[in-house]
A and B are shown apart, each in its own frame.
Chain A
């Protein structure tokens, strides 16, 4: 019998920050104190608070230690596990009050969340099927095996669940279509081709709770009359692939997958197909073509829906990882339970990868309809360094940027779309006042330019043209009429591209023009970057009166661009300066002598003979 259980997060994020070393060191220390039989170590899936990783939780007390290292283990074991004294320095500190928080439930990052999809992530050992079963795992499957397919579909329909992959198509309706089509063979496909920069929701579910996805697939199979599934997962997610394969093997061993499951006569097989990392293969027709072993390119309209003729022209039900993983709970708890969460039109929860300029970042799950501002300021803990919030980018490269005036928006599929952005797969990047919106648009567009499949003209060449124009604007070579040209190109690309990738590619540009047009104009007309980001439009200069000649900037300048005698004001040679901003960052706050200038200030400085 164990006295304590320790959960160490072994998601990809925490493993990168040394979770496995922590485990190794902890094992050694436990042996040293002869506690190896008293304390059970569990490697769990992602806890979401990746920024503070590795995460280390001790149960039954629920003490949440974060940012632990292998070196902390001797102290942690000695002080806490042996003597019972909480190690305060490893506790989470509230960014506003600075106070230590012991239990993870009291951390603002977790308090506002509602975890359905991520229910088991960070709670169970994903490589142990028993832990999943203890948490009601596979009871949804058991229940569904005794249900009529129509009954299952009605439950999903009544729950109001909409596809969590981003498009928000009603899941029940999709299932119904797949069910109604008669065919000797049908497939269920799990879309785990998560490709947005900064998004890792699907990966975390596959890594942290793979059995929930398998169970969802089987329930879907039972509902539509399919006996075979594919999980299309990025090859760049090796841990997810490994855990998924392990889960399949375990489920097969338990008779929960394979022939005659639980003596019901229902057979089901799950295959794993590793994708080669093309973003466009997240699109349903391209994904199906890719599984078939061909070049993943979306099929142009008119074409049959994947549900009607998908994989090898057979009816194919395609659902996202998150959608499938929440299905077992809907079957278990009933449609009303799920429909009770969220808003009128969007039920349940949304999963976001909250990143960027917030105090707390990571994987979060919130009820649909939560205010955007609440996510950023309460869960995210606000903007660090006392900076001002500027915009939030949602929906990944296909989404858009929303300004402060939209923080009151109740987040769901429809409201985000109306505001010019989208839920997408759930990326949420918070931007503060030091972010240049033209530069942000350029960043996201660059991604779609690289990831376009290249078959249709507007997406292949149009997005590249838009990117080139943005490059010019950021480099100070913007021309009068560029904004209008961007709008014209954007509209045409949206109107005439083949697939959703092209049709949404201009969104980051169009939404930033919509809300931050003045920044574009400043770049083009005044050759000014108001956020002081675009290198060609800024210079660094040393205020001769404020500089005390401490030499810190001179010694650290990688370009050797700063000259000046000791205790004499320094100057920057603009010819040599690479604008790396090291001098700006290093100049002590009490002097703040290094200034970043843009636009007219540069002209004024040049006239005044600045340096």
Chain B
């Protein structure tokens, strides 16, 4: 155990913790932008600067030492932090009201904490790059006018999903997050898992046509056998969004493209809600009783005539694990091992 003094308060800490870890454990707020607890530290935004034993360090990276004296509120620290937030904000699209991340934006939070005012901002020159949005992906869009090049998306893609579809490109103020060859994201090796969208601290990566849910419902993804935990965003009687369930031990919040964005089928008008039976060459809606009677009759007919191995059962990944278990049990009871499933991602 070590003791770190933050702003006059002694805080117990473990060796190996960073200044930020310790401050957060003691409920002391240090603004951050490029820091994300899921990822390795980057130290690029320079917003979490504090004074540790007199020298300016990034709280997110600086390891603590026993007896360390940390100050998060000196004039020097405040100036550095404020200037850096102003510099980021100057070239950030400031139309917050219509931004999908409004009230859920890390940059707003940090600006508010630093007390960034229009008066101070007006002293700086706006040098925005009018780069077009990348709307190629059907699920999300990339708005470069809102990107603060914190690199969270880059690290997410590499460290969480192991794809590394994006990285920093170009130099200086032209630095941007880019795919190989600066092509639209859809033409890259991006798997559209949306992990980066989930972590983007600003509105630079947002889900298209985002609707804010009125309530959330926990459930399990029905796409494949992994069984990821989902939190469905529901509005009225419609599912309007999905996020990964961080509490679920299976996926710990991570999702793939299907689980995160493939929820459109739920409320789709073409979705099957009743069994279909082919009558005179056309599939016709029918009742479960009629359908099941038909199926059991056929099963009996074929088993009698050709033996149980003339049967095969095909089940669906969209059924729950329990459904699928019962389905295979039923078919084995009928005497066949011919069972298959569409869960091949």
Contacts and interface: CB of A to CB of B under 8 A. Distances in A.
Contacts of A454: 149, 168, 170-175
| Most-contacted residue by chain B among A280, A301, A468, A495 (CB, 10 A) | A495
B13 interface: no
B100 to A, nearest CB: 24
Nearest to A453: B171
Given A295-B167, A465-B87, A457 B172 contact: no
Interface string A491-510: 11001111000000000000
A462 B88 CA distance: 9
Nearest to A450: B172
Interface string A108-133: 00000000000000000000000000
Contacts of B171: 278, 280, 450-454
A312 to B, nearest CB: 18
Interface stretch (A19-27, A179-187, A481-489): A481-489
B205 interface: no
Contact of A302 (B61, B79, B87, B125): B61
A304 interface: no
B9 interface: no
A62 to B, nearest CB: 47
Contacts of B174: 454
B63 interface: yes
B44 A498 contact: yes
A396 B170 CA distance: 23
A495 B173 CA distance: 19
A152 interface: no
A602 interface: no
B45 interface: yes
Contact of B44 (A455, A468, A479): A455
A458 B83 contact: yes
A219 B88 CA distance: 48
Nearest to A502: B46
A496 B125 contact: no
A488 B170 CA distance: 27
A455 B123 CA distance: 24
Interface in A239-281: 278, 280
Contact of B79 (A449, A455, A492): A492
B317 interface: no
Given A481-B123, A496-B56, A295 B168 contact: yes
B154 to A, nearest CB: 10
Interface string A463-482: 11100110010000001010
Interface in B45-70: 45-47, 49, 56-58, 61-63
A286 B172 CA distance: 15
A496 B46 contact: yes
Interface in A404-453: 449-453
B49 A456 contact: no
Contacts of B63: 302
B172 A460 contact: yes
B111 to A, nearest CB: 14
A550 to B, nearest CB: 45
Contacts of B49: 495-496
A103 interface: no
Interface in B100-129: 123-125, 127
B56 A456 contact: no
Contacts of B84: 457-458, 462, 492, 496
A556 to B, nearest CB: 37
Given A455-B151, A491-B79, A492-B79, A461 B91 contact: yes
Interface of A: prevailing SS: helix
A300 interface: yes
| Most-contacted residue by chain B among A278, A301, A454 (CB, 10 A) | A454
B172 A468 contact: no
B229 interface: no
A492 B47 CA distance: 12
B76 interface: yes
B194 interface: no
B172 A451 contact: yes
A331 interface: no
Interface residues of B, number: 36
| Most-contacted residue by chain A among B46, B87, B88 (CB, 10 A) | B46
A492 B127 CA distance: 19
| Most-contacted residue by chain A among B43, B151, B167 (CB, 10 A) | B43
Contacts of A481: 123
A297 interface: yes
A457 B45 CA distance: 5
A457 B88 contact: yes
B61 A495 contact: no
Contacts of B45: 456-457
Interface string B172-188: 11110000000000000
B175 to A, nearest CB: 3
Contacts of A498: 43-44, 46
| Most-contacted residue by chain B among A280, A458, A461 (CB, 10 A) | A461
B83 A488 contact: yes
B62 A456 contact: no
B80 interface: yes
Given A295-B167, A465-B125, A485-B123, A457 B87 contact: yes
A461 B173 CA distance: 6
Contacts of A457: 44-47, 84, 87-88
Contacts of B79: 488, 491-492, 495
Given A278-B171, A496-B56, A498-B44, A300 B61 contact: yes
A455 B173 contact: no
B58 to A, nearest CB: 7
A166 to B, nearest CB: 21
Contact of A469 (B57, B61, B125, B167): B125
B83 A462 contact: yes
A157 B75 CA distance: 41
Interface in B173-223: 173-175
B90 interface: yes
A492 B170 contact: no
B57 A301 contact: yes
Contacts of A497: 46
Interface of B: 42-47, 49, 56-58, 61-63, 76, 79-80, 83-84, 87-88, 90-91, 123-125, 127, 149, 151, 167-168, 170-175
In the A-B complex, the 8 residue pairs with the closest CB atoms: A454-B175, A300-B43, A461-B87, A492-B83, A468-B125, A452-B172, A496-B80, A464-B173
Given A452-B171, A453-B175, A496-B56, 19 more contacts: A300-B43, A300-B61, A301-B43, A450-B171, A454-B149, A454-B168, A456-B43, A457-B45, A458-B80, A460-B172, A461-B88, A462-B83, A465-B90, A485-B123, A492-B80, A495-B80, A497-B46, A498-B44, A498-B46
Interface of A: 278, 280, 295, 297, 300-302, 449-458, 460-465, 468-469, 472, 479, 481, 485, 488-489, 491-492, 495-498
22 contacts: A280-B171, A300-B58, A301-B62, A302-B63, A454-B168, A454-B175, A455-B42, A457-B45, A458-B46, A460-B149, A461-B87, A461-B88, A465-B87, A465-B90, A465-B124, A468-B127, A469-B125, A488-B79, A492-B83, A495-B79, A498-B43, A498-B46
